[in-house]
């Protein structure tokens, strides 16, 4: 052990001297070069703690604890953000313990959603690491009585030019006594010196996961916990008419049956739907108990909702003049006189999130306090919702965040956490609340169904000179307020208002739509619908223009520029960022298109029944281009290979970025080929994976290749951006293979 350490430090000392001797010769004057007499003090007072920020603690033994305050649902964020802090701090990653934060405002934003964890916290984590590093360096300089410029943090310690080492543990109590440096004096590392950022690091939970030890939502052991399952109203907004629990209470193991009131409209994102609760000793008794309930429901105002018909009624409005949200030139009159036109209508149906782990939570209510363990994407919201519902003091609500068995936006909404807390309070037991898969499929916050009409005009010279895009879909806002009758600017900026192509006459419009199920956000949200319609239409335009589809995208983008979308639409939304900070760069967009072309061998000959398709889409500030290869046989689509080129600025953990794209391709495959929620008489028709299908291994891409553009631009998210361009690229490939244009998802051939 000791030998190993000294080996490491010897190497470090040499490299350190090499770099400093070139750049700071003066500093080396008077230095003692004495290899044999270096000293090394690694640890200090074991009870000492140095905690210069809420995200970090270093104790006297040298153990570095980094707080993961964002939720882990498979993106690797629980590893990547601590890694950013650790890189600035110069830790030995093996000596770092990552601890998950409870929900608490002191950590800043914990809403793990919208692909912004890295975007928002990359600079914050770097500064937190740099602050601690500089304080440790100062503490070491004080100890050696030298200027701080003569020491340097390296591998979990601070070294001087002599090769002496003071470990972080040894320095912890000394650094803790120093003043925290001002933010303006922080010196961040040069990207050239990054140790972890931009390199591969495995996730911290890897071994626990493959050995079955990782703790998900219902895996925490809580003494005396009982299991609860709820029968919820089949129609959202419906209410209980009557119920009989006699048979349920006969099931051995069933302990209690009681009701939770169903809310009035609007249903809200945090409120339980209400219903009849069965509490039992174990899950099976609870399931059997619920099956034995006799319940009658009043369906309420949504009892007639038919989602397939509703798409048709939205389509009528998509084909009529709507509310104009972006307008340049005069698309209407140009279309009327265009020499060639491409016109198409697109339909997308409701989708369900179906994370592999259904919504679930453990709650232990006792003496006006509640402790919760939940796979939540938003522990602060869960905490606030529980506090508000149960009328508790904030400090009496603790929300521990477990690993999430997938989230995709579903587990941002804290309704299931509130349920667990309510049931624990009412029953008097610690409660493990389980949503069965049927509950999950039938009572989700669904992806909005959508109707779109696009009309594009091509002039005599073959240039696209008019673009009319109308989209109609129920807004997520309508789940929370009764007056959100049209999509919001933010929803429209996901593939409509942000139309980046250089077309002189553009009109983007929308129209009225009403949510009759709970509508929520699903991985990449409205981008799913819009990227599909736009991506497929552009492919048709290419054909009309007689040019290659990839070249068509490049042609239509026009000259390299940052697009001033703010001036084009008052409602344009840049994912909460300004265009100054995060411009819409056609050059970066073009680059990913070029990259995906070359990596995929775009244009190569394909056998009959096969085809390649391309689509590109910027979402969540990340630029993505995608090529999909398909083979279509007997109406079955096989996907031998998918290709992605992505520009997400600085790539923090490239291996996990690749994984997000591989997974995004599968998520996109589900959307394109498999998944569809339909509602009849107000109730969801599907119930489990036999009728709500998601892509399995044999239906997913056999291979997915990902190219990440090397960049020093600010990092942007990768959780959602892989999804939008996948379905249109696939549809365009299916067209090449079959000659059939796809205008509705999921594809039916």
Partner 1 sequence: MGTFKMNLNGDQVEVEALDDTPLLWVLRDHLGMTGTKYGCGKALCGACTVHLDGTPVRSCSIQISSVEGKNVTTIEGISKTELHPVQKAWIAEDVPQCGYCQSGQIMSAVALLSNTPNPTDEDIETAMSGNICRCGTYVRIRRAIKRAAKGGAS
Q: Name which of residues 654 to 713 contact partner 1 (CB under 8 A).
A: 655, 659-660, 662-667, 669, 688-690, 694-698, 700-704
- Residue 90's CB is within 10 A of a number of other CB atoms, namely 24
640 contributes a contact to partner 1 by CB under 8 A: no
Per rule CB under 8 A, is residue 439 in the interface with partner 1?
no
Helix (H) or strand (E) holding 642: strand 636-647
- Measured from the CB atom, is 356 or 702 closer to ligand FES? 356
To ligand FES, the closest distance from the beta carbon of 347 in angstroms equals 28
Q: Is 544 in the site for partner 1 (CB under 8 A)?
A: no
Q: Cβ contacts of residue 182 below 8 Å, gap of 6+?
A: none
Contact flag: residue 364 with partner 1 (CB under 8 A): no
Q: How far apart are the C-alpha atoms of 122 and 160, rounded to whole Å? A: 29
Which of the ranges 6-14, 355-363, 448-456, 492-500 carries the binding residues for partner 1, by CB under 8 A?
355-363
Cα–Cα distance measured from residue 644 to residue 625, given in angstroms and rounded to the nearest whole number:
6
Q: CA-based angle 526:114:112, to the nearest 5?
A: 140
Please enumerate in sequence order all residues whose Cβ is within 8 A of that of 572, keeping only pairs 6 or more positions apart, or say none: 326, 489, 493, 497, 498, 565, 566
Select 354 or 524, whichever has its Cβ closest to partner 1.
Answer: 354
# of chain residues touching partner 1 (CB under 8 A): 68
Does 283 interact with partner 1 (rule: CB under 8 A)?
Answer: yes
Residue number with CB closer to ligand FES (188 or 356) = 356
In sequence order, the 6+-apart residues with CB closer than 8 A to the CB of 542 are 548, 549, 551, 552, 553
Q: Which helix (H) or strand (E) holds 296?
A: strand 294-298
Cα 230 from chain centre? 28
Choose among ligand FES, partner 1, none what residue 205 binds, the Cβ cut-off being 5 to 8 Å by kind. Answer: partner 1
Element (H, E) at 599: helix 586-600
Q: How far apart are CA 719 and CA 722, in angstroms?
A: 7
Dihedral (C-alpha) 496, 497, 498, 501: value to the nearest 10 degrees?
80
408 lies in the binding site for partner 1 (CB under 8 A): yes
Q: Which residue is nearest to ligand FES (CB)?
A: 356
| Residue 664 partner contact from partner 1, ligand FES, none using kind-dependent CB cut-offs of 5 to 8 Å | partner 1
Rounded to the nearest whole angstrom, what is the least distance from the CB of residue 69 to ligand FES in the complex? Answer: 21
Question: Which of these ranges, 40-48, 95-103, 296-304, 433-441, lies near partner 1 under the rule CB under 8 A?
Answer: 433-441
Which residues make beta-bridge pairs with 419? none
**Binders of partner 1 among 34-73, rule CB under 8 A?**
72-73
665 binds, among partner 1, ligand FES, none (CB under 5 to 8 A by kind): partner 1
* CA-closest candidate to residue 75, choices 643, 652, 522, 624: 652
Nearest distance from C-beta of residue 713 to ligand FES, angstroms: 29
Q: Which one of partner 1, ligand FES, none is in contact with 72 (Cβ closer than 5 to 8 A by kind)?
A: partner 1
Q: Is 301 in the site for partner 1 (CB under 8 A)?
A: no
CB 408 to ligand FES: min, Å:
10
Query: What burial class does residue 100 get, using C-beta atoms within 10 Å of its C-beta: 0-12 exposed, 13-18 middle, 19+ buried?
Result: middle
| Cβ-contact 659, 76 below 8 angstroms | yes
Stretch touching partner 1 by CB under 8 A, among 44-52, 129-137, 204-212, 548-556: 204-212
Using CB under 8 A as the binding rule, whether residue 398 contacts partner 1 is answered as no
Q: Which of 57, 59, 61, 75 binds partner 1 (CB under 8 A)?
A: 75
The dihedral formed by the CA atoms of 147, 152, 157 and 163, expressed in degrees to the nearest 10: -80
Q: Nearest distance from residue 299's CB to ligand FES, in Å?
A: 30
Q: Which is nearer to partner 1, 284 or 333 (CB)?
A: 284
In a 10 Å sphere around its CB, with 0-12 CB exposed, 13-18 middle and 19+ buried, how is residue 313 labelled? middle
Closer Cβ to partner 1, 387 or 447, answer by number: 447
Helix (H, G, I), strand (E, B) or coil at 491: helix
Task: Provide, rounded to whole angstroms, the least separation between the CB of residue 356 and ligand FES.
Answer: 4
Q: With CB cut-offs between 5 and 8 Å by kind, which of partner 1, ligand FES, none does residue 113 bind?
A: none
Angle at 287 between CA 282 and CA 292, to 5 degrees: 125
Give 3-state DSSP helix, strand, coil % of the chain, rounded to 5. Answer: 35, 25, 40
Question: Mask 160-179, x = binds partner 1 (CB under 8 A)?
Answer: --------------------
Question: Under the rule (CB under 6 A), what is the footprint of ligand FES?
Answer: 74, 356, 406
3-state SS class at 675: coil
List the x/- string, 211-230, binding to partner 1 by CB under 8 A.
Answer: xxxxxx-xx-x-----x---
Q: How far is CA 8 from the centre of its chain?
A: 38
Please state the closest distance from residue 73 (CB atom) to ligand FES, in A: 8
Residue 206 partner contact from ligand FES, partner 1, none using kind-dependent CB cut-offs of 5 to 8 Å: partner 1
What is the binding site for partner 1 (CB under 8 A)?
72-76, 200, 202-203, 205-207, 209-216, 218-219, 221, 227, 252-253, 282-285, 287-288, 354-358, 403-408, 434, 436-437, 655, 659-660, 662-667, 669, 688-690, 694-698, 700-704
């Amino acid at each position: 052990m000791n030998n190993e350490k000294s080996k490491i430090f010897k190497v470090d000392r040499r490299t350190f001297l090499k770099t400093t001797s070139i750049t700071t010769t003066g500093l080396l004057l008077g230095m003692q070069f004495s290899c044999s007499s270096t000293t090394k003090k690694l640890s200090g007072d074991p009870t000492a703690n140095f905690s210069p920020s809420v995200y970090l603690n270093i104790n006297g033994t040298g153990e570095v604890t980094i707080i993961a305050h964002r939720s882990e649902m498979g993106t690797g964020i629980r590893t990547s953000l601590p890694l950013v802090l650790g890189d600035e701090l110069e830790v030995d990653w093996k000596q770092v313990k990552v601890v998950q934060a409870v929900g608490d405002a002191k950590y800043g934003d914990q809403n793990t959603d919208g692909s912004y964890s890295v975007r928002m916290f990359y600079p914050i984590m770097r500064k937190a690491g740099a602050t601690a590093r500089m304080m440790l360096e100062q503490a070491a300089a004080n100890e050696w009585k030298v200027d701080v410029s003569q020491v340097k943090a390296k591998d979990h310690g601070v070294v001087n030019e002599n090769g002496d080492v003071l470990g972080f543990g040894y320095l912890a109590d000394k650094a803790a006594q120093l003043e925290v440096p001002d933010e303006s004096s922080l010196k961040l590392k040069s990207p050239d010196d990054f140790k972890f950022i931009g390199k591969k690091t495995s996730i911290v939970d890897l071994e626990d996961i493959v050995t079955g030890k990782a703790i998900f939502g219902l895996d925490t052991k809580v003494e005396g916990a009982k299991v609860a399952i709820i029968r919820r109203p089949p129609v959202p907004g419906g209410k209980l008419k009557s119920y009989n629990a006699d048979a349920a209470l006969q099931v051995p193991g069933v302990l209690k049956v009681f009701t939770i009131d169903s809310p009035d409209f609007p249903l809200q994102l945090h409120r339980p739907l209400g219903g009849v609760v069965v509490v039992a000793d174990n899950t099976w008794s609870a399931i059997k108990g619920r099956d034995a309930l006799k319940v009658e429901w009043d369906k309420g105002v949504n009892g007639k909702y038919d989602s397939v018909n509703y798409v048709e009624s939205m389509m009528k409005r998509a084909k009529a003049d709507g509310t104009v949200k972006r307008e340049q030139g005069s698309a209407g009159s140009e279309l009327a006189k265009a020499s060639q036109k491409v016109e198409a209508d697109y339909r997308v149906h409701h989708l369900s999130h179906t994370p592999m782990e259904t919504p679930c939570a453990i709650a232990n209510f006792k003496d006006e306090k509640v402790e919760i363990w939940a796979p939540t994407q938003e522990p602060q919201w869960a905490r606030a919702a529980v506090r508000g519902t149960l009328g508790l003091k904030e400090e009496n609500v603790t929300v521990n965040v477990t690993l999430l068995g997938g989230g995709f936006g579903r587990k941002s909404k804290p309704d299931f956490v509130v349920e667990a807390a309510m049931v624990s309070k009412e029953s008097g037991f610690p409660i493990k609340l389980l949503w069965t898969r049927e509950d999950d499929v039938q009572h989700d916050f669904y992806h909005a169904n959508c109707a779109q009409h696009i009309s594009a005009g091509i002039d005599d010279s073959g240039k696209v000179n008019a673009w009319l895009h109308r989209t109609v879909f129920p807004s997520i806002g309508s789940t929370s307020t009764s007056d959100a009758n049209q999509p919001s600017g933010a929803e429209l900026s996901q593939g409509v208002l942000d139309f980046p192509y250089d077309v002189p006459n553009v009109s983007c419009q929308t129209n009225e739509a009403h949510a009759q199920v709970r509508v929520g956000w699903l991985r990449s949200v409205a981008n799913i619908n819009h990227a599909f319609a736009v991506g497929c239409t552009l492919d048709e335009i290419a054909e009309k223009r007689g040019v290659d589809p990839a070249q068509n995208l490049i042609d239509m983008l026009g000259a390299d520029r940052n697009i001033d979308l703010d001036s084009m639409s008052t409602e344009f939304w840049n994912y909460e960022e300004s265009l100054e900070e995060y411009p819409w760069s056609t050059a970066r967009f073009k680059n990913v298109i070029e990259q995906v072309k070359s990596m995929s061998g775009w244009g190569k000959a394909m056998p009959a029944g096969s085809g390649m398709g391309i689509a590109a889409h910027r979402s969540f500030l990340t630029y993505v281009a995608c090529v999909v290869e398909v083979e279509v046989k007997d109406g079955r689509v096989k996907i031998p290979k998918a290709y992605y080129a992505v520009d997400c600025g600085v790539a923090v953990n490239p291996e996990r970025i690749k994984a997000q794209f591989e997974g995004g391709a599968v998520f996109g495959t589900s959307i394109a080929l498999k998944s569809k929620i339909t509602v009849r008489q107000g109730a969801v028709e599907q119930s489990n994976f036999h009728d709500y299908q998601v892509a399995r291994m044999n239906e997913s891409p056999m291979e997915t290749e990902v190219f990440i553009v090397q960049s020093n631009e600010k990092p942007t998210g990768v959780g959602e951006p892989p999804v939008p361009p996948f379905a249109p690229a696939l549809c365009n490939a299916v067209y090449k293979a079959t000659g059939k244009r796809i205008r509705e998802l999921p594809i039916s051939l």
